[in-house]
Structure 1
Amino acid sequence: MQYTLITTFEALNSFCIQASNAPAIAVDTEFVRTRTLYPRLGLIQIYDGVTLVLVDPLGIEDLSPLANLLTNPNVVKVLHSCSEDLETFWHSLNVIPNPIFDTQFAACLLNKGATLGYAALIELMLDIKLDKGESRTDWIARPLSEQQCQYAANDVLYLFQVYPELHEQIEALGRTEWVYQEMQQLALKKSVNLPADLAYLNIKNNWKLSGLSLYVLKQLAKWRIEQARIRDLALNFVVRESNLVEIALTLPTHKGAIFAIDGMTPQEARIHGDVLLSLVEEAKNASAEVYPAPVERLMTHKGFKKASAEMRALCQQKADELAIPVEVVGSKKQIQQLLKYHWHTHDELREMGIKPDLIQGWRGELVGDVLLKIVAKYGEVN
C-alpha cells in the first residue's frame, strides 16, 4: 500500500478535509516515552479507505486540521488499544478523539480474547503476520527510514480492513454503544489530572507511614509530581519513589543524610537535596492538625473478602451469560476501585470527579445496582 508522508500544513489541511467525509478512519500514533512524563508524539498514521498518510508532527507548527478531524462527531476513529494514543493526543494536541471504536475492546466483547494485541488480531482475522521489528524504534529521530514508514503504515492499513467485520459483529449483538461508552470513560480518565495533594496515595508502602512521616511523604510527593509536570520528566527521574519513602521515614536534617540514603544517586542528592531538606523542615514546623489520616487498605476492611467474592461471582455470572471474559465485565482492579470509592476517606477517582467503571455506562446498567447493594451490605457507602 502506498503512503503519503505529510510534512506541511497545506497537505495536512487538504487531507483532513477529504477524510472528514469518510464515515470512519483508522488512526494510530508512534511516540517516544523513555524519560518524559508525557509521551512525545513522533508520527500520526491515518487511513480513510482512499489515502493512507503519515503525518510528521515535528515539522508542522499548526496541527489544528488534525485536531478538528479527530473530534469530528461524524467520523468514527478506529484505534487499537488506544489508552496511550489518547494520552498522546491529549498532551500534544489538547484533544481526545471522539467517537472511538477500539478494536481491542470490540474483540473482547466478541470473546476473541481479553487483551488481544494488534498483530494477533490481524493474524486471527486476516491471516497476515506482521513484522513488529520497528516497534521499539526512535520515532523522534529524523529522517525516518522506509522500514519505519512501512511499519507505521501497516498499523492503519490492516486496522481499517478489520473494522467493518468487527463493527458488523458488534452491531449484531447490540453492543456498539458499549464500545463508544468504554472509550468515553477512558478518555475522561486520560484528560483529568490527579490533584498534586493526593499524589502520596499512589506511593507504594504509604500505608506503613503515619503522623509526621505521612505528612512529609504527602509534601514530597506533591513537590515531585509538580516538578515532573513542569519539566515533563518521568516521576522516578525527578526522585525515585523509594527514596521519598525513606526520607519520610528517617526525616533527615542535613545533606549528608540525603546522600547516605540507599538508592539515592549522587546526582539526585546534589540537585534536590536542599529542597528535600526544606520540605522536611517545613513539615516538622506544621501543626499536627494538617497531618493526613492514615492510608486505608482494602484488605484490612472486615467486609472486604466477602464483598469482593460476591461482586466477582456476579460479574462471572453476567460474563457467562454474555459469553465474554469476566475481566471485561468486572476485573479485580475494577472491583477494588468501586470498594475504595465508597469505603475510603480519600479516593483518587472521587477527588477527580470520576465514577468507578462498574457503575458507569453499560456496566452500570448490567451490574451497577446489585454491586452497590453489596458495597452497602458490607460497609458504609460514601
Structure 2
Amino acid sequence: MTDLTTPAERFGFFRADGIDLHALDELPTVWVRSEEELYALIDEIDSIDVVALDTEFIKRTTYYPILALVQVNTGRAIYLVDAPKLDLTEFWQALIEVPTMVWYACGEDLGIFYLLAKNAPLTNIFDVQIGVAYLTGKLQAGYSQAVSEILGIELDKGESQSDWLARPLSPTQETYAANDVRYLLALYQAVKEKLEQNQVLSQTCEDSNLYAKELHETANLSDALLYLEFYAPEYDRLQMGVLKELVLWRETLARAINEPRTFIISRQALREIVETLPDSIKLLARTTINRGSLRKYGDEIVRIIREVKSCPSNELPPLPPPIYRSKDKPFKKPLDQAISEYSQSTNIPENLLLRGRWINDMLIMIAQDAPDDRLPLGLQGYRKAWASQTLLPLLREYKAQILAGLGMKTP
C-alpha cells in the first residue's frame, strides 16, 4: 500500500506506555568516593548488558576539561562517581567492555572519555539523541524535551552551569546530576522499541557508532592538521600557511599554559588575521584580537606571519579538496527526489540520510572518476547500496556542471 502521509505526519514525538515512573523515582542514589566503592561498581557493570551514563565537567578557564562527576545508571541504582578522588583506569575499561553504553548527546562526554581512557574508537555506543532523530527528524532534541515528550516527566535544568567541582554538592545539584541518568535507561528502552517497530534500529546503532568513531578521530587529530578545521574556500595557499602555523602555535601554547585556545586568539580574530595577514603590530591591532593577547603575543604572531610570507610557494601547504560553491546546482532537484523516495521506503527522516560534506565528497568522486570504494565512511554502511546504485549514477549525469562548480578543468 502506498504511504500517502507527509513527513510531518510520519515523524514526530510519541508517548511511551507502560513505564513504571514510581520505580524510576525510587532508584537509590549512591556516591562512589572510595576505591572499594568503585570496584563494587565495576563488578556490577561487569554483570549487566546495558548501562546509562552522563558526565559533568568544568572547562571554562583550562585547556583540558576537568572531569568532576560521572553519573551511572545500572538499572539497580544511580551512582555518582566522584571523579577527582579516584583512579578511573579500570572503570573506563569496564565500560569499554559492556555490551551497550547509553548516552544522550554524547559528543562532549566521549571527548573526555577518549582523553582520559586513551582507548580505540568505541563500538558499543547508543546515543539516544540520534535515536530520537530517527523517529522525529529533530536533530538536536534535548534530553529534557525528550523525557518530557516521551516519558511525560518534566525536568529542572537549572543547575546545568553549576560548579561541579564543589564538594559537597547542594541537594539540587545532586538531584539534577542523578536525574540526568535516572530516566535515561527508560528513555532508551522506549526509543529502542519504537525504532524496532519502524525497522530502523540497526541504522541508529550504526550512526551512533559512526559518531563515536568521528569523535575519536577528532580527539586524536594531529596538531599539524588542526588548521583544516578553520579552512575557508576563499583562502589561498599563503593564507593556509599562516593559518596552519598560527593554529599550531596557539595549540602548543594553550596546552603549555593550560588555558582555552580562545583565550589566546578567538575564532573570529583568527579568521580576521588570516584574511588580512597583518605583518605589523599596528595592523594586527585592527583585528578583534583581545588587548591582553596583543600585548603578550603580538610580536610572536607578527613574526609567524612574516616568516610564512617569506616561505617559497612550494613549501606552503596544499589547498584541501575543493568545495562546490556554485549556486547553479542542476543535480539538486533529482538528488532531493532520490532522498525523498529513499526516506519514504526506509522510514528514515530525509535530513538524516545525507550530510553536506558527504555530498561534496561524492561530487569530487565524480569529478575525479573515482571508484565507488572511495565513498566517505558515512556512506559505507547501510547507505552504501543506495549511494552506489542511485546517487552516484544520478550525479554522473551532471559531471560537466560538477567540474565547473568545483572550479576544476574538464579533462
* TM-score, scaled relative to structure 1: 0.84
Q: Which residue of 2 aligns with 1:347?
A: none
1:189-200, aligned counterparts within 5 Å?
189-192=214-217, 193-200=220-227
State the 1:309 CA deviation: 4.2
The farther-off stretch of 157-166 and 286-295 is 286-295
Q: Which residue of 1 aligns with 2:376?
A: 356
Tell me the alpha carbon deviations over residues 300-355 of structure 1, each in whole angstroms, 9 at most, x when there is no partner.
358x72344443332222112233321122244543465468769xxxxxxxxx96
In structure 1, what is the Cα distance between the partners aligned to 2:362 and 2:136? 25
User: What is the letter of the counterpart of residue 190 of structure 1?
Assistant: L
CA contact (8 A) 1:32 1:138 kept: yes
CA contact (8 A) 1:47 1:160 kept: yes
User: What is the letter of the counterpart of residue 342 of structure 2?
Assistant: K
In structure 1, what is the Cα distance between the partners aligned to 2:367 and 2:88? 44
Which of 133, 136, 154 aligns to 2:179? It is 154
Asked whether 1:63 is paired with 2:88, we answer yes
In structure 1, what is the Cα distance between the partners aligned to 2:36 and 2:353? 45
Q: Which residue of 2 aligns with 1:120?
A: 145
In structure 2, what is the Cα distance between the partners aligned to 1:195 and 1:122? 38
Identity fraction in percent: 28
1:324-339, aligned counterparts within 5 Å?
324-332=348-356, 334-336=358-360, 338-339=362-363
Q: Secondary structure at the match of 2:341?
A: helix
CA contact (8 A) 1:243 1:263 kept: yes
Q: CA 1:123 to 1:309, structure 2 compared with 1: closer, same or farther past 3 Å?
A: same
Q: Which residue of 1 aligns with 2:229?
A: 202
Q: Which residue of 2 aligns with 1:9?
A: 35
CA contact (8 A) 2:137 2:349 kept: no
Q: Secondary structure at the match of 2:52?
A: strand
Q: Which residue of 1 aligns with 2:270?
A: 244
Q: Which residue of 2 aligns with 1:131?
A: 156
Asked whether 1:185 is paired with 2:210, we answer yes
Tell me the alpha carbon deviations over residues 166-189 of structure 1, each in whole angstroms, 9 at most, x when there is no partner.
223333444333232212211111
Q: Secondary structure at the match of 1:26?
A: strand
Q: State how many pairs are aligned.
A: 368
State the 1:217 CA deviation: 2.8
In structure 1, what is the Cα distance between the partners aligned to 2:165 and 2:362? 39
User: What is the letter of the counterpart of residue 380 of structure 2?
Assistant: Q
State the 1:68 CA deviation: 1.6
User: What is the letter of the counterpart of residue 26 of structure 1?
Assistant: A
In structure 2, what is the Cα distance between the partners aligned to 1:139 and 1:227? 27
Q: What is the RMSD of the two structures over their aligned residues, measured on CA atoms?
A: 3.1
In structure 2, what is the Cα distance between the partners aligned to 1:138 and 1:129? 23
Tell me the alpha carbon deviations over residues 82-108 of structure 1, each in whole angstroms, 9 at most, x when there is no partner.
122111211233246541222222222
Q: Which residue of 2 aligns with 1:349?
A: none
In structure 2, what is the Cα distance between the partners aligned to 1:116 and 1:246? 33
Q: Secondary structure at the match of 1:298?
A: coil
Q: Secondary structure at the match of 2:105?
A: coil
Q: CA 1:252 to 1:366, structure 2 compared with 1: closer, same or farther past 3 Å?
A: closer
In structure 2, what is the Cα distance between the partners aligned to 1:107 and 1:251? 45
1:1-382, aligned counterparts within 5 Å?
1-60=27-86, 62-73=87-98, 75-95=99-119, 97-111=122-136, 113-192=138-217, 193-203=220-230, 206-258=232-284, 260-293=285-318, 298-300=323-325, 305-332=329-356, 334-336=358-360, 338-339=362-363, 356=376, 358-377=378-397, 378=399, 379=402
User: What is the letter of the counterpart of residue 313 of structure 1?
Assistant: Q
Q: Which runs of 5+ in 1 are unaligned?
A: 345-353
The farther-off stretch of 160-169 and 292-301 is 292-301
Q: Which runs of 5+ in 2 are unaligned?
A: 1-26, 369-373, 407-411
CA contact (8 A) 1:39 1:87 kept: no
Q: CA 1:332 to 1:41, structure 2 compared with 1: closer, same or farther past 3 Å?
A: same
In structure 2, what is the Cα distance between the partners aligned to 1:228 and 1:2? 41
Q: CA 1:52 to 1:217, structure 2 compared with 1: closer, same or farther past 3 Å?
A: closer
In structure 2, what is the Cα distance between the partners aligned to 1:366 and 1:152? 42
Q: Secondary structure at the match of 1:45?
A: strand
State the 1:136 CA deviation: 1.8
In structure 2, what is the Cα distance between the partners aligned to 1:87 and 1:6? 22
The farther-off stretch of 193-202 and 116-125 is 193-202
CA contact (8 A) 1:32 1:40 kept: yes
In structure 2, what is the Cα distance between the partners aligned to 1:128 and 1:328? 27
Tell me the alpha carbon deviations over residues 47-71 of structure 1, each in whole angstroms, 9 at most, x when there is no partner.
11112100010111x1023112211
Q: Which residue of 2 aligns with 1:350?
A: none
Q: CA 1:307 to 1:13, structure 2 compared with 1: closer, same or farther past 3 Å?
A: farther
* TM-score, scaled relative to structure 2: 0.78
